[in-house]
Amino acid sequence: MPTLASKRDSAIANWPWREGNRFILLEAAGQYFERMIQAIDDARTRILLEMYLVESGALASRFVDAFERAAQRGVAVRLVLDGFGSLGFSKADRERLTAAGVELRIYNIVHLRKRLHNFLRDHRKLMVVDSAVAFVGGVGLTDQFGVAGPSGTPWRDLVVEIHGPVVADWQEAFLRTWRRSGGELSLPPPSLDSIPGGARGRVVLSEAWWRSELANAVARRLGTANKRAWIMSAYFVPSRRFRKALRRAARRGVDVRLVVPGSLTDHPIVRQAARRFYGKLLRNGVRIFEYQPRVLHGKMTICDDWVSVGSSNLDRWSFKWNLEGNQEIEDAAFVNAAAAVFARDCELSVELDPMRWPQRAWVDRLQERFAGWLDERLDRWRRPRL
């Protein structure tokens, strides 16, 4: 007899591939936030937003203003914010939204009595407008993303704008999170026509339940890649399974590249934990690029003619504790555009030299050991049942 976990797993593992979509890769704050606010201002029926990191400031105020305008003209606005990621979102901003008629839900409110359940977070970044357009990526609504980070420029991130039948699946993904956050909502499935000559795409999620279909999808692609396997990740602390897949791909002649954070990062200890794996990867032919101009926060994987963009960092923490969401795309034009973005970021990075890596300073090795020790202890924590 199937267990509850297996039933849940089967329910999330089979999001279908859908033909006839249009995908637009947005790679700058001036692109994706402007497109998102324009979509809010153009909304006629409903706006659905699911967001991890929200903090009161200049960028959040722009979105609060836009949501307020939409609600006042009769658009149904529903927001799900993560209970930890939205701790910096002020009471005044929340009250402005609810006073305007916006429905606001909080996913897993932080409380001491919840113990390890506090680590179960909604890390997705998703907006669906009028059941017609969706935005999926790695951004948060904080000034670091839209105004300036530690280097004086916005953090480097990516968002995909989505049109076509796959939008219906993103709407359903939002509705599941809405229900888990205490809301009851039923929307008619949108009837979205395929776009002639459009691209093939699929929603892929990590639900922090039983296993991560997102992790499995990337592992399968790494295992079958023939030409390239390129990964951009802000917090790349890969499991043994992923490290082995990367080494094997490089040894069979695949162009394997990692774009990872340089010294500008919001989580230095995570960077140090990742660096302890670099030596073996470099010795096996994996090329590693540390991004220099600003804080790297983008998440993208390219394997041959397939690309995945979204919220997942492809680390063990994401797959074990978080709700994550990525858009998979099989389309030559989109993949070429994504590859061009990736290649430009490689040019803005410092490539690690396999010969010089063993000669790095002893203090770096000490930091990597400590960060690795901490990472291993955290990874042993058992995820609580939901």
Q: How confident is the model over 345-350, as a mean pLDDT?
A: 97
Q: Where are the beta strands (DSSP E) in 27-120?
A: 46-51, 76-82, 103-107
Asked whether residue 5 is assigned to any structural domain, the reply reads no
What percent of the chain has a predicted confidence (pLDDT) above 70? 90
Tokens (6 digits) for 49: 């937003």
CA-CA distance, 22 to 294, in Å (whole number)? 30
Assigned domain for 171 exists: yes
Instruction: Tell me the average pLDDT of the chain.
Output: 88
Strand residues in 102-211 grouped as ranges (E): 103-107, 121-122, 125-129, 133-137, 159-163, 199-206
Is 2 within a domain? no
Report residue 101 CA to chain centroid gap.
29
Does residue 155 lie within any of the structural domains?
yes
How far apart are alpha carbons 150 and 161 in whole angstroms? 27
What predicted TM-score, i.e. pTM, was given to this entire model?
0.91
Distance CA 225, CA 205 (A): 21
| Residues 157/144, Cβ–Cβ less than 8 Å | no
How high is the pLDDT of residue 183?
77
- Cα–Cα separations (whole angstroms), residue 139 to 301, 340, 381, 382: 16, 20, 28, 28
User: Can you give the pLDDT at residue 4?
Assistant: 37
Q: How far is CA 260 from CA 74, 289, 298, in A?
A: 44, 6, 9
Q: How many domains does the chain have?
A: 1
Q: Give ∠ CA 316-247-336 in degrees, rounded to 5.
A: 85
Phi, psi angles (nearest 5°) of residue 309: -130, 140
Give 368's DSSP letter.
H
pLDDT score, position 29: 86
**Active site (catalytic) residues:** 123, 125, 130, 297, 299, 304
Specify if 162 maps to a domain.
Answer: yes
- Summarize pLDDT for 113-165 with one digit per residue, the tens: 777 777 788 999 999 999 999 999 999 999 999 875 455 689 999 999 999 99
- Rounded-to-integer distance, Cα 157 and Cα 35, Å: 15
Fill in the DSSP letter of residue 357. G
Residue 332 belongs to what domain range? 13-379
Distance from chain centroid for Cα 286:
23
Query: Within a domain: residue 8?
Result: no
What CATH number is attached to the domain comprising 189? 3.30.870.10
Does the pLDDT of residue 344 top 60, yes or no? yes
Place of tokens 């990621």: 85
With respect to residue 4, please indicate whether it lies within any of the assigned structural domains. Answer: no
Alpha carbons 313 and 215: distance in angstroms, whole number: 10
How confident is residue 315, by pLDDT bands cut at 50, 70 and 90? Answer: confident
Q: Is residue 3 part of a domain?
A: no
- Span 200-255, pLDDT tens digits: 999 999 876 555 678 888 889 999 999 999 999 998 888 888 999 999 999 999 99
